Structures are given as C-alpha cells and as structure tokens.
C-alpha cells in the first residue's frame, strides 16, 4: 500500500461514524486456495493473517467489540481432514495469538456450544479467556461450533428452567429477559455485519443480534481482506441511514 493510500485510509477511518460492534463471516478461504492450485487447508492458514489484520484495523478505528465466525455448528459436515486443520488452527490461535492479544489489552471470548470440542481444547479456551478477562480494550469474540438458532434455543431453555424452578412465570418472559441469555448480551448492540467471499446470506450467524445490524457483503475472499477493505466497510456503514423503525424525517430532525 502506498503512502497516499495509507493516508486516505486513515482519513476515512477518522472521519467515519465508527460502529461500536462489528461481526465478520470470514468466507472464501477454500476458494482462495483452489484458485491458486492449493489445498483448502492453505486458505485457512492464510486466513489467520487476515484475522490479525482485522483485529488491528478494528482497534485502530475505535471499534469496541469484534466478533468473528470461525466455525459453525454445520461445519462438522465438512471433510474430516479440513475439520482437523481448523481445529489445529484454533489450537494455534489459543497458544500463540492470545498472548499477543493480551499484550494489546484485548479481551478474548469464545461463544458457541463448546461441549463437542476435545477436553484439551476446552481447557485452552478457558485458560485464554481467564488470561484476558481483566483487559479493558476491545473485546474479540470468536464463534466456534456456533449457530444463531442454537443461541436462541439455549436462551429459551435457560428461561424455561427458571420457570420450572418457579423463579419466574411464563408471563414474565420478555424480549429483554431472553436477551440476557443470548451470547454477547454484555456487549454493545451489533452495528455492522460483514461477509466476505461473495455470498449474500448470514448463514445462521448472530440471528438475534443482527436484527438491526447493517449488512455489508464483499466479493473479496477472506485471505485478501485487509485494512483497506475493512475501512471500506466502515465507510459504507457511515453512509447508511439507520432508522430503527422510524421514518427518515424523524431521524434527520433528531440530528
């Protein structure tokens, strides 16, 4: 990137209305590798660098929370060899990258049904979360064995258990009480959901949280997603009129 491009990039970020919470569906690793005559695993490994870049770009822009979709509950259906590579990469992130995150005051969090992971991996996740628990910088959440429908179902079960214990009645269940048991409830509302790789769907990711998020789709494959591409997404977000059910006139007059 030239000095001119870098300056333009910095100006775009500084002038834009920065989203508090950004989520990314990191798609296109396999196709990126295949286009280069490599195995899909090579794309996943290259995608790790894009994770580093996006974390740095988000922190630089002033994003408070970044959530990455690393492994969906449906991804177990992929070839065993590819799943193995993804698990190995997860282990690598937990042993190497988390230390870097800690040095940069970033809080690390994993969301999803972790019961299907090995006991070793579950232990590493807990240790990584504990290491960064007191950090006060950006919150980096990684969704692993995660699905939006699972998230909502899990929250509903938690409320049902409270009803069974007679702590609350069914009539007392509200949107707010359900939200308390949804993943990432303690973070700012999701503002921007990015998907790389050219597909136009959210693939069961953060279904509850994305209710009023702005959606941004790009054809760029994940290993090619860099700071410039991240800044483009923020710039587009800044240009959107967020009405939250109101009219455009109401939003304009409020400003």
Angle between helices 227-239 and 3-15 (to 10 degrees): 30
How far, in Å, CA of 135 to CA of 115, rounded? 26
Residue 172 CA: distances (Å) to CA of 40, 164, 176, 183: 49, 13, 10, 21
Residue in the block written with tokens 């491009």:
5
- At 94, give phi and psi (nearest 5°): -70, -30
For residue 6, count other CB atoms closer than 10 A to its CB: 12
Q: In 3D, which of 210, 208, 199, 77 has the Cα closest to residue 150?
A: 208
Assess whether 75 carries a catalytic annotation.
Answer: yes
The catalytic position among 9, 27, 109, 151 is 27
Please confirm, yes or no, whether 105 is among the known catalytic residues.
no
Active site residues: 27, 75
């Amino acid at each position: 990137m030239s000095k001119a491009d870098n300056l333009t990039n910095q100006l775009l970020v500084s002038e834009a209305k920065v989203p508090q919470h950004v989520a990314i569906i990191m798609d296109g690793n396999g196709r990126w590798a295949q286009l280069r005559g490599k195995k899909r695993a090579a794309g996943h490994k290259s995608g790790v660098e894009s994770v580093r870049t996006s974390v740095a770009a988000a922190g630089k822009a002033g994003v408070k929370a970044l959530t990455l979709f690393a492994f969906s509950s449906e991804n177990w259906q992929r070839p065993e060899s590819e799943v193995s590579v993804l698990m190995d990469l997860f282990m690598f992130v937990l042993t190497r990258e988390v230390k870097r995150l800690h040095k940069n005051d970033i809080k690390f969090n994993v969301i999803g049904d972790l019961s299907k992971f090995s006991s070793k991996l579950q232990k590493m996740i807990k240790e990584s979360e504990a290491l960064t628990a007191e950090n006060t910088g950006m919150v980096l959440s990684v969704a692993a064995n995660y699905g939006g429908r699972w998230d909502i179902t899990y929250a509903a079960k938690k409320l049902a258990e409270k009803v069974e214990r007679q702590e609350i009645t069914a009539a007392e269940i509200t949107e707010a009480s359900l939200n308390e048991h949804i993943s990432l409830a303690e973070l700012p509302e999701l503002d921007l959901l990015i998907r790389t790789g050219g597909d136009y769907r959210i693939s069961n990711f953060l279904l509850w949280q994305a209710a009023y998020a702005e959606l941004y789709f790009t054809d760029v494959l994940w290993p090619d997603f860099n700071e410039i591409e991240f800044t483009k997404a923020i710039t587009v977000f800044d240009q959107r009129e967020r009405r939250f059910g109101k009219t455009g006139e109401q939003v304009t007059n409020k400003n």
